[in-house]
Amino acid sequence: MIIQIKYLDLKKVLLILLLTANNLFAFAQEPDTLVQADTLSMQNFLSDSLAIEEKTEEKQIEIPQTEQTGSNATDTLAKKINRGIEVLFAKASIEPKQGEILSNVLKIINHNEIEKVVLPEFNFPATWKLIGKTDVWYEISPKDTVYIPVRIIPQKLSNGHSNYQINAFIYNSKGIQILTDHFNCTTDKNAEWKVTSNKNKIYFKNGQSEEDISFNIENKSLFDQEIFMNVNSAKGDISLEKDKIELENGDSQTLELSSYADTTFEYTAVINNNRRNFRKVSLLGHVPNRKSQRRQYSVFLNSQESKILGNTSHRNGSKIDLIKLPNVMRASDYSSRDLPLDVQMDYQNALGDFPFLSMNLNGYKNFNNDASLNYFTQLNYNQVFWNKEHLNNLPWYLGYFSNKWSAQAGNVNGGVVGMPSAGKGIKGDYQINPDHKVGAFLTSTRGFMKFGQTDAYGLNYQYNLPKDGFVLAKFGRYTNGFNGTSGNVLSLQSSLRIKEKHGVGIFGALSSRRHIYIGTLTGQQGFLLGLNYNSRFLENKLYVYVGARYNSKFFGSSNSRIATGNAKVQYAISDNWSAYYSANYANVETFTPSTGFFDPFSSYDFLQNRFVFTTNNRWGTFNPGIYYNVNNFYQYNVHARGLSLRFSKLDYIKNTLLSFYSEAGYTNSLTDPSVKDYFNFRMNTFYRLRTLTLTANYRYGANNRSAQEFQTATSRSPQIGRFSANHQYLFADEHWVLENNISYTYNNRFKSQFLGVFPEIFFFSNNGWRYSLNPGYNLNVTKYNNELLNIYSNNPINTDDLGSTVTKGFRVNVSVRKSFGVPIPFMEHKNSNVSFNVFYDLNGNDKQDKGESSIENVVLRLEDKEVLSNSKGFAMIENTINDNYQFVTFPLEELNGWFGKTPDSLSIMTNTIVQVPFVRGVKVIGNVVLNRQDIAVTDDRPFDLSNIRIAANDGTTAISTLTNFDGSFELYLPNGSYVLTIDENILGSKYSLLQNNIEVELNSDMENIYTSFFIVEKERKVKIKKFGEGGTIIRSKDR
């Protein structure tokens, strides 16, 4: 039968009284387990129970009419109702915290017309403890309910994503198990540890190439931790050793740390500057045996949980920078009044019939970091006799850019859409204020400031919106002196952000043109419209971009009607997975004025669709995807669809890179109904191993009209394969570098093979010259037959084999390159050389006299430029800009009381020699004196006053030392004013310090200074009793 259960407010009151009495009874039964009972909240129990009551208020329950016995009874144990008894926990799941009690309520409902007696029994981990008695029988009246608080003390929770199941088994009065229910106790990972290093920054001394380093991992949580750690360097030119054994792949291991335990890993970092040919050298900036560069190497320790569950994982790491400093360095390659100029001359086909000479000159100059100058020109010469057209057609460019304005001359582009605006001329912009900017241009294809061919000029204005965005207006006009065509274009572009989330771009343009056609002056107008939108949704996981553009057939100077559209959607599925969709569409129709129709030969449209997944793991980056492309060209209308896969793996430590891409699918031709679903495949592979680079490309199947015609006519699939290799070798004499290139290509359509070998040898001089010799040999073999020629001919001939055509070639190229600094006569010289002389100053006169030794391995830092003093105490920074700099010095070796006597800043205005004297510090001697009460001294043994920290602070830095057993201390300090302090935290409540923060003034006339700290024991009241025979007090007095 069906029973409708209703609960009244009165019953809620009785429930509260029942739970209160039950808890008091449980507390009285187990007083020894209630140490934490005051942390429990009865309010939680009641609210949980009432919540369950409200949920089941309208619940309809079907009561079974017969009892189940025998083996079938076990089938009902998983049910929550049996024999008219229903059981359920108030909470299905609990997430406990360390040190807290688990709290839940077990509800047992008697749906029967008679009283029932039940015994609940609980099952949980053996080390956990249930608060209260476990052998309590409950008598449940007809149609009544009991609520049993369940409180469990978990002795120890696992540190991890764990799930404990707490079971309740219900027995009837006969001892038969009739019901069961459970709730889950789930714990999340509580991972916390810290990684530190012995030093964050370590400097190598002169001649030193290795240094001991260490990392420490400390478990800062209440749980044991299992940690995966990896130690490696950021570059391949430094290696790690452990116990004198090189760790080629770094150090990776899994360790277990107990709560609040720590461990230390010790290594030796070794510089591998002699690892030639591990990485390629720059063919533009290589300097042989350069020792004037600051080199920084980094060693990392990265750690994370050994097993990652969910989307988050605790990670921690530390980095040690190891720095190798030169004794002499250049702050900049050129002085402030020099224009950097790179000159490269290439003489190609030197031994051939038609040699070619090219000279390229380019440079870039910074002015005070807020302006720059770019310049470029190229001279090409390939004729025997002089021709002034070489100079007229000479490409060149000069551009000056600053925060306020810019000016460009030479080969420039006006940048007005739809009209020819490139040529030689001038262009400039001016920033009126942060919101307004104007510009103009003037160009001609005839030459600089020479007009009569295609000339163009225009204006532009930009307004920056108050928030993110701008409005840009452009006007341009062009004239063509050859055919009398002229035209105007006016465009307006706007980009803005809406609520910092949505981006909208609008583009529009109008054009008008006049041209003479068959003696008649004709005017035509056109327009262009464009719109795009982008935004991010779903907490920046979803990125959407859509854009479209259309222009009419007479827009600008062209006769093409063009419609394009593109869309991009990217979604971050998780930390390691994302999905990406892209679509690109274009429709181009070319209008022919002479016929008045669109030309089918040059008109086309296509639609490209691609959907790709991206995932990153320890193996690399994978991009599986699918594609569907529609290409509609003249006599080549196909639908291509298939699968794609991209894979890449970079190992910076080993200097390896592997990249692979492939597509495989079927192409259906709509042009030729007889050609359906032919297979297409292409593959591109790139592999780099140190200084060796290999590339391979392969394509199978037709991908254009002529290839499809070949495939249809011969029933053979076109195939093209390419392979190339590049290798660089740096000789032991670093002036010489050899670069080898080899390539091979095969094409089965023309039965052609191509082989090319192109070695190039470079010589780099010490003063910056680079010379190269590049001989090359190529071999091309092609085997034609009339069968192939007939495919593309309207007059078929016989198919006889025409034999092979072999073409050989040999050439020699020579090049010379050099970087110069071209002086600017009218500019002031603003660079100077700064030399440093570091020495022991015995007599304190701030200059090095006879008998005063030089000091090696002292770091001299001028702002962000650092050098290291050599064995003669010398170091230099060349070509530094004249200015005021912060100046810092510190030795890498312990000098035992010698301190640098240097200013905090230097003013560099001319070539300067900076004396860096190190003077003997003043020896500060002292004692910590303890004055104890006479009555407190019970023996004559001395009091231990060791390891008390004494600090001297000059307001910026603190130098400290520790006391000896008898309280004595000493330390060396440079001249200056100091405050000596003692750590008062050691005194506690029984002692007090008479004086702290002692001020001292140290100068060069002092050798030693003495001071003391006095600690006194606070007075205590002592009661003295004197006992006689029999234990009676003879005399008693207070002291």
- Helix (H), strand (E) at residue 535: strand 520-537
| Whole-number Å distance between alpha carbons of 394 and 268 | 58
> What is the predicted pLDDT for the residue at 384?
67
| Whole-number Å distance between alpha carbons of 330 and 823 | 18
pTM: 0.69
Q: Which residue has the higher pLDDT, 596 or 147?
A: 147
Beta-strand pair 201-203/874-881: unpaired
Report angle CA 652, 657, 663 to the nearest 5 degrees: 145
Is-contact 86 106, C-beta < 8 A?
Answer: no
Q: Classify residue 973 as exposed, middle or buried by CB count within 10 Å of its CB (0-12, 13-18, 19+).
A: buried
Tens-place pLDDT, residues 810-867? 999 999 999 998 888 877 778 899 999 999 988 878 889 998 999 999 999 999 899 9
Tens-place pLDDT, residues 30-45? 333 333 333 333 333 3
Evaluate whether 193-324 and 922-1017 have a shared fold. yes
- Helix (H), strand (E) at residue 240: strand 238-242
Tell the residue number behind the tokens 């002291």, with chain if given: 1039
> What is the predicted pLDDT for the residue at 73?
39
Domain 824-920 has CATH 1.10.10.10: no
| Whole-number Å distance between alpha carbons of 473 and 457 | 14
Q: How confident is the model at residue 1033 (pLDDT cuts 50, 70, 90)?
A: low
| Whole-number Å distance between alpha carbons of 203 and 207 | 12
> What is the predicted pLDDT for the residue at 377?
95
DSSP per-residue string spanning 690-701: TTEEEEEEEEES
Task: Give which of 662, 679, 723, 717 is closest to 697, Cα–Cα.
Answer: 723
Beta-strand pair 898-900/883-891: unpaired
Tens-place pLDDT, residues 413-426? 999 999 999 999 99
Task: Give which of 160, 57, 175, 40 is closest to 121, Cα–Cα.
Answer: 175
Tens-place pLDDT, residues 650-681? 987 788 999 999 999 999 988 777 777 889 99
Tens-place pLDDT, residues 386-406? 677 667 778 999 999 999 999
Question: Cα dist. 1010→928, 1007, 1015, 1023 in Å?
Answer: 12, 10, 17, 40
Calculate mean pLDDT across residues 984-1000: 82
Question: Cα dist. 315→172, 217, 229, 249, 652 in Å?
Answer: 53, 12, 10, 21, 21
Q: How confident is the model at residue 346 (pLDDT cuts 50, 70, 90)?
A: very high
End-to-end C-alpha distance for the chain, whole angstroms: 92
| Whole-number Å distance between alpha carbons of 600 and 586 | 15
- Output DSSP code: residue 14: H
Q: Which residue has the higher pLDDT, 68 or 256?
A: 256
Tens-place pLDDT, residues 596-621? 788 888 889 999 999 999 999 888 99
For the chain, how many helices (H) and strands (E)?
5, 68
Tell the residue number behind the tokens 């309809």, with chain if given: 60
In whole numbers, what is the pLDDT of the chain averaged over residues?
A: 83
> What is the predicted pLDDT for the residue at 468?
82
CA 629 to chain centroid = 34
| Whole-number Å distance between alpha carbons of 34 and 20 | 16
Q: How many CA atoms lie within 13 Å of 81's alpha carbon, on the beta-carbon side? A: 13
Tens-place pLDDT, residues 102-114? 899 999 999 999 9
Calculate mean pLDDT across residues 107-122: 91
| Whole-number Å distance between alpha carbons of 185 and 157 | 10
Tell me the CATH class for 922-1017.
Answer: mainly beta
Show Cβ contacts of residue 453 under 8 Å, excluding neighbours closer than 6 positions: 444, 445, 446, 480, 481, 482
| Whole-number Å distance between alpha carbons of 172 and 61 | 20
**Full 3-state SS string of 951-987:** EEECCCCEEEEECCCCCEEEEEECCEEEEEEECHHHC
In the chain, domain spans: 2-187, 193-324, 824-920, 922-1017
> What is the predicted pLDDT for the residue at 416?
95
> What is the predicted pLDDT for the residue at 885?
92
Q: How many CA atoms lie within 13 Å of 958's alpha carbon, on the beta-carbon side? A: 11
CATH number for region 2-187? 2.60.40.10
Percent of the chain with pLDDT over 90: 40
Q: Which fold has domain 193-324?
A: Immunoglobulin-like (2.60.40)
> What is the predicted pLDDT for the residue at 164?
85
The yes-or-no verdict on residue 891 having pLDDT over 70 is yes
Tens-place pLDDT, residues 761-775? 999 998 889 999 999
> What is the predicted pLDDT for the residue at 825?
81
Beta-strand pair 1008-1017/922-931: parallel
> What is the predicted pLDDT for the residue at 21?
45
> What is the predicted pLDDT for the residue at 814?
96
Tens-place pLDDT, residues 940-953? 667 788 888 888 88
CA 156 to chain centroid = 39
